[in-house]
Amino acid sequence: MFLSTCPSSRRIPSLIRSLATESVPHTPNNVPPPPIPDDTKSRPSRLYPRPRPVSRNKRQALPVLPPSFGQNQLLPVPNSTRALLEHIVNSFEVPIHYAFAYGSCI
């Protein structure tokens, strides 16, 4: 109650407002924005990329594979190497029964 009757307490809020905000006179800007350069108009926007056109010159798959297809992938494995590999696979504590590899450099 004492604060509301004291004349200096009424000036404090207006003093704080004047210190907290900067008074800048507003001048309306009637100048239009600069025009967009022509080179930026022709460039496509990266915000909305478009898919590439479909190329129709894809090679057709062979309807029938030749009988010799894949023959170069078969490698002879000596029985000793096969037994060693089976021993290694059987030593794993997981239910592995078969293993195969496909691809280059495997």
Give a yes or no: residue 95 inside a domain: yes
Q: For position 84, what pLDDT does the model report?
A: 94
**Amino acid identity for residue 4 in this structure:** S
* Residue 88 domain-assigned (yes or no): yes
Task: Tell me the CB-side half-sphere exposure of residue 79, using CA atoms within 13 A.
Answer: 0
- Quick one: which H or E segment has residue 79? helix 79-90
Q: How many domains does the chain have?
A: 1
By the 8 A CB rule, do 89 and 99 touch? yes
pTM above 0.85, yes or no: no
Q: Is residue 23 part of a domain?
A: no
Tokens for 15? 């003093």
- Residue 86's nearest CA partner among 71, 75, 96 is 96
Give the single-character DSSP code of 71. G
Question: Highest-confidence range of 13-17, 21-25, 53-57, 78-82, by mean pLDDT?
Answer: 78-82
Q: What angle do CA 11, 14, 20 make, to 5 degrees?
A: 135
pLDDT digits (tens, 9 = 90+) for 28-57: 667 777 787 766 555 666 777 788 887 777
Q: Which domain, by its residues, includes 105?
A: 77-106
How far apart CA 2 and CA 5 sit, in angstroms, is: 5
